[in-house]
């Protein structure tokens, strides 16, 4: 399994200058290759990354001698990136999705990065040897063992990082518990677990968002091209990096805890791309990073040998009876939003167990819904929040109960 470890670098001023020149060379090569690809395609040819690389190397020594100031992988990696970009473009076209033709990289807007092949660098503790540069300090040692595949040096704000890809073997460890847990992603809370726990982002999140808004206004007031604007943009980038680091930290800690503690994890298959089209919720949904949460669960569950159960996005789980699978028809008295979230997460976890697919005919403490309610809320259902009379009256006639968002529902079995 190929994993990457991203480590912050501590370069000197001279090393930073080399990194900037290497990133500029990689960006120039990518733009040259994209323009050549477009011209060749319009002329009726079938360009490829390999053919463009041969053309570039043929004119490089005479027309572009300054590209030799940095190591060769800065230019070679640009052709591989362009080939990958067009591969994704053609795949989206065939699938009928929004195509997104590859764009030119503009200085100051595109992410600065360049690649290094696995045979061109080496590690020694908290140091990495970069071709034509020498040893560069790192903040920590590489924590993965195995065959090193490649490295990518990149810049975020004013900080430099190296991402080292390693082909390693992961030995799954047994989970702390053999049970399953349901995870309900939301906006008010990042995740609500079926055992009643809630996971939120750091309390510093709101404070940082206010600081970002203030810095964005400061940037907009500065004259374009001025030194003050460049300094303000740097401050804003550093604050965005701090905000992103807080979000990623919570996501990694939560997903790692889930795969280490539980054998089965149940999560919804959310259409995040479609949901953010709602301009009223787009910002709140993007802030929670549901897609990144799902991505981390996917690869971490594979690493640890866990079962990740994904509920179909079109399956009406909140409106379907867990016992008779009948759609809901009548609404009962409402629950609070917090109770509904907790109960839904608990119900998802309980229904993942095959032995609980059929409800008992005598609705009481032995019933799965009753147990899920008590597990989630820590108390027995009250008459004003759960339609006990309706259930008891029609239970013998085949009436079952499930819970939807904000209110319990009563459905009649066929």
Which pTM does this prediction carry? 0.74
Task: Specify the pLDDT at position 98.
Answer: 80
Q: Is 388 helix (H, G, I), strand (E, B) or coil?
A: helix
Burial of 280 from C-beta contacts in 10 A (0-12 / 13-18 / 19+): exposed
Evaluate whether 283 touches 199 at the Cβ level (below 8 Å): no
- pLDDT the model gives residue 413: 34
Q: Determine the pLDDT at residue 332.
A: 39
Residues 6+ apart with CB under 8 A from 308: 264, 265, 267, 297, 298, 301
Determine how many CB atoms are found less than 10 A away from the CB of residue 69.
Answer: 12
The whole-number pLDDT of residue 289 equals: 87
User: Which pLDDT does position 397 carry in this prediction?
Assistant: 32
The interaxial angle of helices 227-261 and 205-221, nearest 10 deg, is 160
Task: Determine the Cα–Cα distance for residues 77 and 33; give it in Å rounded to an integer.
Answer: 11
Phi, psi for 183 (deg, rounded to 5): -125, 120
Cα–Cα distance between 256 and 247 in angstroms, integer?
A: 14
- Domain-by-domain residue ranges, the chain? 2-167, 180-311, 318-412
Contact 391, 401 (CB under 8 A): yes
C-alpha of 400 from chain center: 38
Q: What is the mean pLDDT of each run of 10 residues along the chain (414 residues)?
A: 93 95 95 94 91 94 93 93 93 85 91 93 94 94 92 94 92 81 86 85 86 94 92 93 92 92 86 83 85 90 87 65 47 49 57 39 52 62 38 31 37 34
> Which CA distances in Å does 100 have to 30, 130, 277, 302, 397?
17, 34, 18, 30, 56
Q: How far apart are CA 10 and CA 153, in angstroms?
A: 12
- Predicted confidence at residue 272, as pLDDT, reads 81
| Cα–Cα dist 237/216, whole Å | 10
Residue written as tokens 């230019």?
75
- Please answer whether residues 126 and 138 qualify as being in contact, where contact means their C-beta atoms are separated by less than 8 angstroms: yes
**pLDDT one-digit tens code per residue, 82-100:** 999 999 999 999 888 887 8
Give the span between the Cα atoms of 409 and 217, in whole angstroms: 48
pLDDT digits (tens, 9 = 90+) for 222-231: 999 899 999 9
Cα-only R_g, the chain: 27
Question: Residues 67, 29: contact at Cβ < 8 Å?
Answer: yes
How far apart (Å, rounded) are the C-alpha atoms in residues 259 and 173?
A: 10
What pLDDT score does 34 carry?
95
pLDDT at residue 410, as a whole number: 34
């Amino acid at each position: 399994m190929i994993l990457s470890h991203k480590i912050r670098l501590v370069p000197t001023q001279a090393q930073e200058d080399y990194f900037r020149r290497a990133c500029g060379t990689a960006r120039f090569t990518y733009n040259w290759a994209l323009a050549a690809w477009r011209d060749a395609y319009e002329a009726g040819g079938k360009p490829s990354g390999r053919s463009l690389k041969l053309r570039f190397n043929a004119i490089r020594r005479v027309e572009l001698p300054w590209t030799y100031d940095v190591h060769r992988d800065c230019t070679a990696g640009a052709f591989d990136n362009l080939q990958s970009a067009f591969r994704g473009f053609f795949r989206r076209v065939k699938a009928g999705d929004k195509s997104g033709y590859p764009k030119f990289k503009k200085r100051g807007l595109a992410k600065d990065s360049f690649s290094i092949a696995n045979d061109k660098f080496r590690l020694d503790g908290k140091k990495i040897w970069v071709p034509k540069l020498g040893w560069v300090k790192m903040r920590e040692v590489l924590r993965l063992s195995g065959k090193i595949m490649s490295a990518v040096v990149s810049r975020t704000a004013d900080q430099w990082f190296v991402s080292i890809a390693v082909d390693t073997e992961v030995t799954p460890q047994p989970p702390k518990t053999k049970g399953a847990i349901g995870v309900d992603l939301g906006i008010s809370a990042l995740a609500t677990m079926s055992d009643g726990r809630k996971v939120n982002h750091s309390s510093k999140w709101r404070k940082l968002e206010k600081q970002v808004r203030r810095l964005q206004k400061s940037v907009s007031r500065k004259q374009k091209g001025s030194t003050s604007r460049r300094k303000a943009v740097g401050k804003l980038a550093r604050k965005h990096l701090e905000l992103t680091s807080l979000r990623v930290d919570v996501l990694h800690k939560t997903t790692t805890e889930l795969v280490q503690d539980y054998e089965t994890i149940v999560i919804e298959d959310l259409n995040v791309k479609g949901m953010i089209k709602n301009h009223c919720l787009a910002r709140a949904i993007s802030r929670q990073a549901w897609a990144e949460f799902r991505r981390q669960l996917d690869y971490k569950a594979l690493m640890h040998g866990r079962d990740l159960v994904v509920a179909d996005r079109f399956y009406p789980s909140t409106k379907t009876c867990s016992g008779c699978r009948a759609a809901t028809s009548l609404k009962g008295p409402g629950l609070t939003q917090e109770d509904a979230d907790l109960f839904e997460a608990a119900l998802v976890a309980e229904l993942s167990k095959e032995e609980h697919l059929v409800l008992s005919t005598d609705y009481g403490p032995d019933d799965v819904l009753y147990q899920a309610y008590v597990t989630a809320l820590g108390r027995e259902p009250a008459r004003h929040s759960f339609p006990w009379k309706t259930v008891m009256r029609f239970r013998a006639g085949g009436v079952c109960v499930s819970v939807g968002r904000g209110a319990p529902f009563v459905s009649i079995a066929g």
